[in-house]
Amino acid sequence: MNRDTVNVFFLWLVLTALGEFVILGTDLFSYPIVGAEEGHVVDDAFFFLTALAVPVAAFVLSMLGYAFIRFRVSGPDEDGPPVKMHRSWAIFWLLWTTGLTLFVIVHPGITGILEIRHLGSGEPDLVVETEGSRWYWTINYPDGVTVKTFEEDAEMVLPVDSHVKFEVTSTDVLHAFWVPAFRMKVDAVPGLVTTISATTIGLGNYRDDPQYRLQCAELCGLLHNGMDVPVRVVSVAEFDAWLAEKAVTAA
């Protein structure tokens, strides 16, 4: 092993240690708040992939930085020393990057999807039909309760500690159903009903945390940025009372 390889190796170790210290030594997910069980799965996957990306990024930066300093030339018209392909390094790079890619496809890729599907399996406590239009949402609850988000004081209200299934569609163009606090996102497609589930944990509302909002996450036209509505997660008793009041008003 030549001196340049040793230098790059130790530089890689230092950068990797510093990067992992930043990732593991700081609370990256203290904000935004997690409002659904599925959100923990998403955050765990993101944290794992970030920690896994540190040594890869450190290796690339070490190689580029060292080569830039070590093999620089003194003038713009001077050629650097000839470089030949290192066959063993090329094979090593191909093998370990391929192995790493296959690994993250399995975990947290497939394992994360299976865990989220497991959380969303079974009979839901509540089914909410959500329809996207330019540029508002129509939210249909049981008992004939409908909320249109362009109405005054409109909001999406959900019960806490409940498995909520959202049936999502669109009347015109592609939209996307996204509640940042839940981390879950699904396209709203014209003529098609897509589904997504969230198991709510803890009370929350838009006034205390702007992550509690239903936001269109698909560029859908001129007023796309205003296609949002506050989300409020309340106790089951408060939700039942709110739904009953809305049902009487609708009737």
Residue 200: CATH number of its domain: 2.60.40.420
Q: Does residue 130 share a domain with residue 57?
A: no
Q: Does residue 142 share a domain with residue 59?
A: no
Packed helices 37-70 and 87-104: angle between N→C axes, nearest 10 degrees: 170
Residue 176 lies in a domain: yes
Residue 79 lies in a domain: no
For the whole prediction, is pTM greater than 0.95? no
At 70-93, the pLDDT tens digits run: 887 776 676 766 777 788 888 988
Residue 58 lies in a domain: yes
Residue type, 218: E
Q: Does residue 178 share a domain with residue 102?
A: no
Q: Does residue 134 share a domain with residue 24?
A: no
Residue 77 lies in a domain: no
Packed helices 37-70 and 3-25: angle between N→C axes, nearest 10 degrees: 150
At 156-204, the pLDDT tens digits run: 999 999 999 999 999 999 999 999 999 999 999 999 999 999 999 999 9
Residue 76 lies in a domain: no
The per-residue pLDDT for 24 is: 85
Residue 80 lies in a domain: no
Residue type, 245: E
| Per-residue CA distances from 140 to 52, 120, 143, 230 (Å) | 42, 20, 9, 15
Task: Please provide residue 55's backbone torsions phi and psi, each rounded to the nearest 5 degrees.
Answer: -65, -30
Domain containing 148: what range?
Answer: 126-250
Q: Does residue 21 share a domain with residue 49?
A: yes
Pick from 213, 188, 186, 211: nearest CA to 197: 186
| Number of independent structural domains in the chain | 2
Mark which of 97, 119, 141 sits at the end of a domain: 119
Residue 155 lies in a domain: yes
Residue 81 lies in a domain: no
At 97-110, the pLDDT tens digits run: 999 999 999 999 99
Query: Could you give the 3-state DSSP secondary structure of residue 136?
Result: strand
Q: Does residue 163 share a domain with residue 109?
A: no
